[in-house]
Amino acid sequence: MRVIPSVCTFCGVGCGIGLRVQDGRVIGVEPQPRHPVSQGQLCAKGWATSFAIDAAKRLTEPLIKEHGQFRRASWDEALARVAEAFRTALEEAGPQSVGVISCARASNEDNYAAQKFARAVLGTHNIDHCARICHSPSVAGLALTLGSGAMTNSIADIDEAELILVIGADVTENHAMIGARILRAQARGATLIVVDPRKTRLARLANIHLQLRLGSNIALLNGLLQIILANGWENRAFLEARCADIQPLRRHLAELSPELSSALTGIGVAELEQVAYLYSHARSAYTAYGMGITQFQSGTNNVIAVSNLALACGQVGRPGTGINPLRGQNNVQGACDMGCLPNVYPGYQDAADAAVQAKFATAWGRPAPAHPGLTSLGMTQAALDGALRALMIMGEEPVLTDPDQGHVARALAALDFLVVVELSLTETAKLADVVLPAASFAEKHGTFTNCERRVQRVRQAIAAPGEARCDWQILGELAARLGYPGMAWSDAEAVFDEMAGLTPIYSAMSYPALDHRHGLQWPCDADHPQGSPLLHAQGFPRGRARLLPVTQVEPDECPDADYPFAFTTHRLHFHYGGGSMTRQSPLLERETPAALLFMHPDDGARLGLRDQQAVAVRSRRGRLETRVHLTDDVPPGTLAMPYHFREAPCNRLTNAAQDPQSKMPELKACAVAVEPLPLAARPAGATDHASL
């Protein structure tokens, strides 16, 4: 048996694993003992990695759909079909009629190739990925306040924090090894404050849990800052030395009072004052947040409110402090870094900047696309409008993870042509005209970038099943068929080297440099050849940081007589994303085999429901059937549901109302109604889960 060092393929923590390989198969995993992030540990998902890539459920050959049925095809026939479809769309409707949705689970090399394929081969900025629905508001909001949208500090800084503030993040479930680190920090004396409308596991263990009303994040953060400023608890030296004028924000907040903030959030005045005092007086306060901040139509302003609080208290730019968005997927940070966003080239180089356009046009030998690009949800709408004709989706599952599932399915059906590059036949792949089999992370060389900006190597441990190929190879072959020879890389390292040569924040990185230690954190350039564990110690990318006035915005859809419950979505420790990988594991599937609707017992009693009873849930967009789980995890009047389960896809219910700045849909809040189903009813696809 050999053990090949690699990185966990699930969440953005980026734990170090060893793939145990025997007879050409990954038979298990083990933690890397001295890994700086995971420190010799893994969560339940990490231990189950080998099931996610098991060859039994994998696609091994290209598939072409004819008369509604898939048939096997050769690579030559499938790639010819894809190239012909893109060529036809380009000739008939121009480069705005085609697009690519890349993948936050794929490597940096695959994502670099995806955006180069879109821009240099198809001639469009229509390139996006699932960061749109997780942390696009972080990229937009922190760019406005600090000039950089990534985690400011490292995961290890949790060990140095005197106070840890977690807002809208279910850390023990979704970023388990960070959750464990936070609990160890609390055990050695750090104060843990959790802000969440649900009683998460971390909230139950926290020193203080602020169980705010769903969607009242800005009211809470503004309320805390108003108390801090009114009492003179702000860090004046930091504000004078490092920030632009705070006066507009001070005047804006003067309209508030603790009593008004309490009324808006449902949190008592005494608790607000206690948290304001503790946060502003902590020697080091580490702020971490998740999609409970970003997935609102006010997502960008929510992020700005987090930033305002940290800046006003000087809790940025030192060890143990910082503004730290917890990125969801294993390489969502990398996919953003690689420029798989319509408005930026690799390294966040502005796609609208003429000098940047000229730089890439020269390097790639193709002119920059003429038009601004569409986001993933913009492409969905363009497909429905008939403006988008051909689309490539690499390894993403928008049918399960995007809001308003019916809307997404109608949009994909409206395309002239859909090609999906995937490991297995997902719900999205089933809708494709052509499906191309992809190699998994264990079957190729490459790099992933975790949420603390750490770029780490993954190495080929086994051969890909059947004829599956790396995404960058597939894209290179398609590029050649479309007349562009500039993507014929010899190997993954050649892709990385081309990218690093064009991306200043990665410019001092190379495979040998990354091999030398457990990766490097960007910016890693001539001034920082060892990388940058801490950002903004001396200055901000935009010079002085900005504190921007923001105002509470209610969710687009609030409960009413027809839809009386507030509804939110969440994730479970044992599953990940649309479940296409974790649900391959019998161990994980045994723990939580079916979707449940989390409801407070008081609401259950009012509706005459008993625990585990079958119910129908309706919103203005769709209906599903599931079982109810009576628990005080949620407050009365608020329901929650995990989104991993195709049998009860909660995004059939969610609202596509968007944040005007980042185009983030409001996945965290909508209104629903619940009806009991007959006692004998068993929801479609339901599994017996008496163990719950």
Q: Which is nearer to ligand SF4, 116 or 570 (CB)?
A: 570
DSSP E strand stretches across 510-575: 520-521, 565-570
Residues that bind ligand SF4 (rule: CB under 6 A) add up to a total of 14
For the four alpha carbons of 599, 602, 606 and 611, in that order, the dihedral sign comes to positive
Residue 582 CB, shortest distance to ligand SF4, in Å, is 9
* String of contacts with ligand SF4 for each residue 7-46, x by CB under 6 A: -x-xx-xxx----------------------x---xx-xx
Q: Which is nearer to ligand SF4, 238 or 286 (CB)?
A: 286
Residue 325 CB, shortest distance to ligand SF4, in Å, is 15
> Contact 418/449 with Cβ under 8 angstroms?
no
Residue 449 CB, shortest distance to ligand SF4, in Å, is 13
Q: Which residue has the tokens 């060389």?
A: 445
Q: Which is nearer to ligand SF4, 130 or 653 (CB)?
A: 130
Name the CA radius of gyration of the chain, rounded.
Answer: 24
Q: Which residue has the tokens 């599956």?
A: 468
Provide the 10 A C-beta neighbour count for residue 370. 12
3-class SS of residue 509: coil
Which segment (3-11, 123-131, 437-445, 619-627) binds ligand SF4 by CB under 6 A?
Answer: 3-11
User: Which residues, 149 to 208, sit near ligand SF4 by CB under 6 A?
Assistant: 175-177
Pair of tokens at residue 361:
């046009």
Q: Which is nearer to ligand SF4, 26 or 177 (CB)?
A: 177
User: Which residues, 44 to 63, sit near ligand SF4 by CB under 6 A?
Assistant: 45-46
Burial of 205 (0-12, 13-18, 19+ CB in 10 A): middle
Q: Which residue has the tokens 């990940």?
A: 576
What is the C-alpha separation between 439 and 449, in angstroms, rounded?
A: 19
Residue 248 CB, shortest distance to ligand SF4, in Å, is 40
Strand partners, 289: 167, 325
Residue 48 CB, shortest distance to ligand SF4, in Å, is 9
Question: Do β-strands 434-437 and 163-167 pair in parallel, antiparallel, or remain unpaired?
Answer: unpaired
What is the C-alpha separation between 347 and 115, in angstroms, rounded?
A: 12
Pair of tokens at residue 179:
């959750």
Q: Which is nearer to ligand SF4, 174 or 626 (CB)?
A: 174
For the four alpha carbons of 31, 32, 34 and 37, in that order, the dihedral sign comes to negative
CA angle 189, 190, 193 (to 5 degrees): 135
Residue 25 CB, shortest distance to ligand SF4, in Å, is 20
Q: Which is nearer to ligand SF4, 43 or 470 (CB)?
A: 43
Among candidate residues 69, 48, 122, the one with its CA nearest the CA of residue 487: 122
3-class SS of residue 513: helix
Nearest residue to ligand SF4 on Cβ basis: 46
3-class SS of residue 570: strand
Residue 245 CB, shortest distance to ligand SF4, in Å, is 41
Q: Which long-range contacts (CB under 8 A, 24 or more apart) does 406-414 make?
A: 406/621, 406/622, 406/652, 407/380, 407/621, 407/656, 408/380, 410/384, 411/380, 411/381, 411/383, 411/384, 412/383, 414/383, 414/384, 414/386
Among candidate residues 275, 128, 265, 160, the one with its CA nearest the CA of residue 206: 275
Q: Which is nearer to ligand SF4, 10 or 643 (CB)?
A: 10
Residue 46 CB, shortest distance to ligand SF4, in Å, is 2
Residue 177 CB, shortest distance to ligand SF4, in Å, is 4
Q: Which is nearer to ligand SF4, 13 or 639 (CB)?
A: 13
Q: Which is nearer to ligand SF4, 242 or 573 (CB)?
A: 573
Among candidate residues 646, 649, 655, 647, the one with its CA nearest the CA of residue 620: 655
Residue 7 CB, shortest distance to ligand SF4, in Å, is 8
Q: Which is nearer to ligand SF4, 43 or 425 (CB)?
A: 43
Question: Do β-strands 127-128 and 98-101 pair in parallel, antiparallel, or remain unpaired?
Answer: parallel
Q: Which residue has the tokens 């190495």?
A: 459
Residue 233 CB, shortest distance to ligand SF4, in Å, is 35
Residue 567 CB, shortest distance to ligand SF4, in Å, is 26
Residue 643 CB, shortest distance to ligand SF4, in Å, is 17
Answer yes or no whether residue 127 interacts with ligand SF4 by CB under 6 A: no
Q: Which residue has the tokens 């089933």?
A: 430
Pair of tokens at residue 650:
């909660």
Q: Which is nearer to ligand SF4, 43 or 553 (CB)?
A: 43
What is the C-alpha separation between 450 and 224, in angstroms, rounded?
A: 31
Q: Which is nearer to ligand SF4, 489 or 576 (CB)?
A: 576
Residue 358 CB, shortest distance to ligand SF4, in Å, is 39
Q: Which is nearer to ligand SF4, 297 or 440 (CB)?
A: 440
> Contact 440/457 with Cβ under 8 angstroms?
no
> Contact 308/249 with Cβ under 8 angstroms?
yes
Q: Which is nearer to ligand SF4, 329 or 552 (CB)?
A: 329
Q: Which is nearer to ligand SF4, 42 or 98 (CB)?
A: 42
Strand partners, 243: 545
Q: Which is nearer to ligand SF4, 14 or 320 (CB)?
A: 14
* String of contacts with ligand SF4 for each residue 551-580, x by CB under 6 A: ------------------------------
Residue 34 CB, shortest distance to ligand SF4, in Å, is 15
For the four alpha carbons of 504, 133, 52 and 17, in that order, the dihedral sign comes to positive
Residue 510 CB, shortest distance to ligand SF4, in Å, is 24
Provide the 10 A C-beta neighbour count for residue 374. 23
CA distances from 612 to 130, 565, 583, 595, 689 (A): 32, 19, 21, 11, 9
Please give the residue ranges that form the binding site for ligand SF4 (CB under 6 A).
8, 10-11, 13-15, 38, 42-43, 45-46, 175-177
